[in-house]
Amino acid sequence: MSEERDVLSITDDEENDEFEDEGHLPEKHGTLSKWTNYLHGWQDRYVVLKDGTFSYFKSASETAYGCRGAVSLNRACVTPHPFDECRFDVSVNDNVWYLRAKDVEERKLWVGSIELHKEQVTNSPDLASGIQPYIHQAESGYGSENSLKRHGSLLSLTSGTSLSTASASSFKRGRGLREKLAEMETFRDILCRQVDTLQSYFDSCASAVAEGTVHDLTEHDDDIDDIDDYDTPTSGSSHPSKIGGLKGRDLALNQQRLFASTLIMSSILQQHGGHAPDFKGEAYTFKATTAGIIATLSHCIEIMSQREDAWRKRMEREVEKRKKVEESYKSVLLDRQKPIVFGGPDYEEGPHCAINEDEFFDAVDAALDKLEKEEERKLNPVGKPMPPPAISLSPNHSLYNEINQITGEHLNYLEEKNAAGEEDNWILIHEEGEMKVLKRELEEDGLVIDPLKAVHTVKGITGHEICHYFWDLNVRMDWEGTLESTRCIEWLSEDTFVSHNVIKRVWPASQRDALFWSHIRHVISDDEEKPDLWIVVNYSTDHPSVPPNKYVRVKMNVSMACQTLIEPPNDSEITRDNITCKITYTANVNPGGWAPASVLRAVYKREYPKFLKRFTSYVKEITANKPILL
């Protein structure tokens, strides 16, 4: 019985430990940057750590409307990023939250708090496991332990029935094993008291019987001595009368002995009769006690069956989760074989990018194709010409010398290129009809800044028209499909302004912007044999109203130089059939960031010819029904 008590005590202690409520850690809340998707990147979110649950809201003012996501820290894994000192990841199975704190100390506080809450959840009851906590009562269905003590030997049928009814009530759900053990202890005490009572009675009876036997023998010996002798024949005689006298004497002696024993036993029973128990009441007590024990054991079996079912369900859930994890793992292995990988911030441009250069280029190529298709579907309305302000750039302006110097370098380069024979230093990367695209491979600090030159000849448009639409800010969004926005920051003169362009995001590359001054100039030739030249120069600059921001800033030095060649017409009127424009486009662009060199070169080779072809087609379409702008 003691071994059974120890086993039940251990089981019940485990049950109490499992369902015991522990103290709660204080709530922690604040603002962190959360990676949303590859379009919007990092966004500020209001996060709350409470009761083992990590949830986030769009802002602190929206907490009353419900969270946008929540994870339980029971099986969460918190991983500080190995390279980004402000970032940490919270993952539960295949669900990953990428989070960034403002500084290193804040990240340490958040990671520490999450680990504390996770430890508390791990050691606390798992209410989601399907095991309902049992509600322990102060007293059992049988009453208190004192009320179960035996009050005398008499026990009516009514009292026995009440015990049986109480035992049946012990099947109430929520009774613990510890209480059942106490009930069985009470039943054991009742049985022990019954056994002690009966044993005491039987011991008294045995003692009385033993005492009566000794007294009988003593009285028997005295009786023999007191009995008168019968008539005895002389010695040696064998008269029959003598034999008959002996038999009569023995019969009388036996009768005397029986009578004496009866008197002694009657005296003993009268002496101990007052101590005799109520056997009928004890029988009822015994039946009720054994019924209570059986009921209690049945309840214990029921509790153990419930726990067995709960653990079986938990095991089934764990098996199901394992299957899901295995399926997710297989899915990840399959996804790694795909050329385009969508993921978190580790799959975008950076010094520790998780995708190789081939996959990086495939993703960029797919995004550029999408932009090109969107651009083809766009209408190309003619923008209204921007009236230039009636001011000129002052020589005292801070950019005056820079604009003249950069524009002069481009003009000198156009004049010297043929004599110097620089064509030999360029690599032809694309040729389509009259268009040739050449480049030189050049890197600075590991970044590709390959200078590019495109030479193209287009009939039906003039150099003035090409440069005008290339420079005019109002029509830039019509022909440039890679821009998200463009705006004028400041007009410097009637032919120069500062512009800010935000370039569309091409995943997995980071989003970029460009801040530059744009200058258009008409260069009149001193040689009658050489045509006039129009040139537009875009050169990166700084401006206090557009400081460096979340975008990667592109540095550029771009020029579009055009000359118009006119064939003598058969009649006096010049038509567009008599016009040919020679275009020289040069670009020296430093994209910044951490994009792979092979990807940049592949993109340049693909995009520059498309741009020049697309832009010249746009100008021809716009000017088809307009007067010639020489």
Q: How far is residue 619's CA from residue 630's CA, in Å, rounded to a whole number?
A: 14
> Residue 232 domain-assigned?
no
pLDDT digits over 224-277, tens only? 444 444 444 444 444 444 445 555 667 777 777 777 666 666 666 665 555 556
What was the pLDDT predicted at 498?
Answer: 95
pLDDT digits over 420-449, tens only? 445 557 788 888 888 888 888 777 766 777
Query: Are 595 and 520 contained in the same domain?
Result: yes
Query: Are 289 and 423 contained in the same domain?
Result: no
Q: How high does pLDDT run on average in the chain?
A: 74
For 107-112, what is the mean pLDDT?
92
Q: Helix, strand, or coil here: 395?
A: coil
Query: Are 481 and 598 contained in the same domain?
Result: yes
Query: Are 400 and 525 contained in the same domain?
Result: yes
What was the pLDDT predicted at 376?
Answer: 63
The count of C-alpha atoms lying within 13 angstroms of the C-alpha of 609, restricted to the half-sphere facing its C-beta, is 17
> Residue 128 domain-assigned?
no
For 121-139, what is the mean pLDDT?
43
Query: Are 426 and 513 contained in the same domain?
Result: yes
Structure tokens at 380: 């190309």
Structure tokens at 273: 């009769």
17-31, 93-107, 521-535, 583-597: segment of lowest average pLDDT: 17-31
Task: Tell me if 358 sits within 8 A of 445, measured CB to CB.
Answer: no
> Residue 545 domain-assigned?
yes
Which of 106, 123, 140 marks a domain boundary?
Answer: 123
Query: Are 313 and 451 contained in the same domain?
Result: no
Residue with more model confidence, 145 or 104: 104
> Residue 223 domain-assigned?
no
What residues form DSSP beta bridges with 53?
Answer: 50, 72
- What is the CATH number for 496? 3.30.530.20
Assign 555 a pLDDT band (cuts: 50, 70, 90): very high
Give the chain's domain count.
Answer: 3
| Number of separate helices (H) and strands (E) present in the chain | 11, 18
pLDDT digits over 497-530, tens only? 999 999 998 888 888 999 999 999 999 887 777 8
pLDDT digits over 280-330, tens only? 677 777 777 778 788 888 888 888 888 888 999 999 999 999 998 988 888
What was the pLDDT predicted at 238?
Answer: 47
> Residue 347 domain-assigned?
no
- What is the CATH number for 76? 2.30.29.30
Length of the chain: 630
What was the pLDDT predicted at 424?
Answer: 55
- Concatenated DSSP letters for 413-424? HHHHHHHHTGGG
Q: How far is residue 537's CA from residue 587's CA, in Å, rounded to a whole number?
A: 10
What was the pLDDT predicted at 226?
Answer: 47
> Residue 359 domain-assigned?
no
Assign 212 a pLDDT band (cuts: 50, 70, 90): low
CB contact set of 589 (below 8 Å; sequence gap of 6+): 449, 452, 554, 555, 556, 557, 558
For 469-491, what is the mean pLDDT?
91
Q: How far is residue 140's CA from residue 180's CA, in Å, rounded to a whole number?
A: 8
Residue 623 belongs to what H/E stretch?
A: helix 597-623
Assign 600 a pLDDT band (cuts: 50, 70, 90): confident
> Residue 287 domain-assigned?
yes
Task: Tell me if 47 sits within 8 A of 56, measured CB to CB.
Answer: yes
What was the pLDDT predicted at 141?
Answer: 31
Query: Are 395 and 285 contained in the same domain?
Result: no
Q: Does the pLDDT of residue 160 top 50, yes or no?
A: no
For 95-107, what is the mean pLDDT?
91
Q: Does the pLDDT of residue 174 top 60, yes or no?
A: no
Interhelix angle 240-272/177-226, rounded to 10 degrees, is 150
Query: Are 293 and 413 contained in the same domain?
Result: no
Query: Are 480 and 546 contained in the same domain?
Result: yes
Would you tell me how many other CB atoms lie within 10 Å of the CB of residue 340? 16
Q: Does the pLDDT of residue 163 top 50, yes or no?
A: no
What was the pLDDT predicted at 218?
Answer: 52
Query: Are 327 and 461 contained in the same domain?
Result: no
Query: Are 544 and 444 contained in the same domain?
Result: yes
Q: State the residue for tokens 């962190």.
A: 32
What was the pLDDT predicted at 11?
Answer: 45
> Residue 259 domain-assigned?
no
Task: Label each residue of 588-600 as H, E or C.
Answer: EEECCCCCCHHHH
Q: Which domain holds residue 106?
A: 28-123
- Rounded to the nearest angstrom, the gap between the alpha carbon of residue 627 and the centroid of all alpha carbons in its chain is 65
What was the pLDDT predicted at 413?
Answer: 80
Closest CA to 472 of 534, 520, 532: 520
Query: Are 313 and 418 contained in the same domain?
Result: no
What was the pLDDT predicted at 343?
Answer: 60
